Amino acid sequence: MAAEIGVAVVGFGLGGRVFHAPFVAAVPGLRLEAIVQRKGDEAAQAYPNTRILRSYEEALADPAVQLIVITTPNEAHFRMAKAALEAGKHVVIDKPITATSQQARELIDLATARGLQLFPFHNRRWDGDFLTVQQVLATGQLGRLVTFESHFDRFRPVQRAGTWKEAGDDANGMLFDLGPHLVDQCLALFGAPATITASVRRDRDSTAIEDGFDITLGYTIAGRQLLAHCRTTWLACDASPRFLLHGTHGSFKKYGLDPQEPALVHGAKVPPMGSGDTWLEENASDWGTLTTAPDPADPAMLIKREVPTARGDYRGFYANVRDTVLGTAAQAVTAEDGYRVIKLLEMARVSSAEGRTLPVEF
């Protein structure tokens, strides 16, 4: 392994504490050099051997830091990423990459001009359920896919006080919080859509944010239509399937979310990558179901079986960051992917406001 890449994680809320610092620390070749936490000592308690910085400017000026991870509120992403690139640092930005596609394009141009790497943190490509969907599609057992449905629902009928995530800003709300995950997964599976149709809503009785959406991405593949539905509501008292796929020869249905986030919230420790220690496996009770018709002419004769969920592992994202910075791999999630996601979310708002289907152009 080449010399370690010094990493500074900026922010130690849920993002920094759960999704970034543990996985940076677990990937050989990355060194958790510093954590920027303006107040409090939670980061120092969790990482006693890591330097705690009290200002972002310290991280920007630190020659031991080559990569900066931005986990701050959404509205600050553009400003802080631009400063990091101007300081000569590679950058990881938690989703959404920026509040607007214009800002994302400016960062991409700046990174390219400076010869630096810019990574949108679309970690849900390393969810076990999504990896399983990819595997099921690759087998061809569903036949020609007709509809793809992806839900990321919660039950929070009362607005939470004191959190920036529920502050009335266009960069906040579920469209820009969970929307990037769902839309990015569709782009990873199917590429750029031809059309977008959306309903972006405020479903709760009292809310300052967009707390529900339905986005339908229309594809034409080999002359046939495929519809990919991305859906979120905060009024899901009973769960919908996380994934539901229907094809000409069968269906795949999967409930439940990847177990990595809840495990980390409850104190699980991420083992070093390559140590031989296994990271999380999903309980068999949460596996998805594949139902197929071996003979479509006999639709009553169906075969149903459980599909073991692939092991999700967010360490894979940071291993790719390491390899890309070292020049030994291509980016798995590109800055252009981040731009396209934001562009589609902006188009979803327009589609919803105007009540029409829009052609997609990037």
Task: Give the domain 127-312+345-354 fold.
Answer: Dihydrodipicolinate Reductase; domain 2 (3.30.360)
pLDDT over 90 at 50, yes or no = yes
Q: Dihedral through CA 181, CA 174, CA 158, CA 235, nearest 10?
A: -70
pLDDT score, position 297 = 83
Query: Residue 162: its pLDDT value, please?
Result: 79
Residue 296: what are its φ and ψ, rounded to 5°?
-60, -20
For strands 195-201 and 145-151, give the pairing.
unpaired
- Phi first, then psi: what are they for 298, rounded to 5°? -125, 75
CA 317 to CA 279: how far, in whole Å? 14
Mean pLDDT score across all residues of the chain: 95
> Is the per-residue pLDDT at 199 higher than 90?
yes
Decide: 20 and 69 in contact? Cβ < 8 Å.
yes
∠ CA 249-253-257, nearest 5°, is 150
Cβ-contact 65, 14 below 8 angstroms? no
Q: Answer whether CATH 3.40.50.720 is correct for domain 5-124+316-329.
A: yes
Q: 283 vs 57, 238, 254, 258, 267, CA distance in Å?
A: 44, 20, 13, 10, 18
| Residue spans of beta strands (DSSP E) within 1-117 | 5-10, 30-36, 51-53, 67-70, 90-94
Interstrand relation of 288-292 and 250-254 (parallel, antiparallel or unpaired)? antiparallel
> Per-residue pLDDT tens for 266-280?
989 999 998 888 889
- Which of 61-70, 168-177, 287-296 reaches the highest mean pLDDT? 61-70
Q: Is the pLDDT of residue 2 over 80?
A: no
- Strands 118-121, 90-94: pairing kind: parallel
Dihedral sign for Cα atoms in the order 122, 128, 132, 138:
positive
What is residue 171's predicted lDDT score, i.e. its pLDDT?
81
- For residue 154, what are the β-bridge partners? none
Secondary structure element (H or E) that encloses residue 83, with its range: helix 77-86
Check whether 111 has a pLDDT greater than 80.
Answer: yes
Angle in degrees, 0-180, between the axes of helices 101-114 and 77-86, rounded to the nearest 10:
10
| Rounded distance between C-alpha atoms, residue 222 and residue 219, angstroms | 10
pTM: 0.94
Residue 68, beta-bridge partner list: 8, 91
Model confidence at 203: pLDDT above 70: yes
Statement: residue 1 has pLDDT above 70: no
Q: Which two tokens stand for residue 294?
A: 């071996």
Q: What is the pLDDT of residues 136-167, one digit of tens each?
A: 999 999 999 999 999 999 899 998 887 888 88
| CB-CB neighbours of 100 under 10 Å | 16
* pLDDT (0 to 100) of residue 178: 94
Judge whether residue 3 has pLDDT over 80: no
Helices 335-354 + 179-190 axis angle, to 10:
110
CA 330 to chain centre: 18
CA 273 to chain centre: 21
Cα 229–Cα 253–Cα 286 angle in degrees, nearest 5: 125
Q: What is the SS3 assignment for 291?
A: strand
Return the domain boundaries, the chain.
5-124+316-329, 127-312+345-354
Is the model's pLDDT at 293 over the cut of 60?
Answer: yes
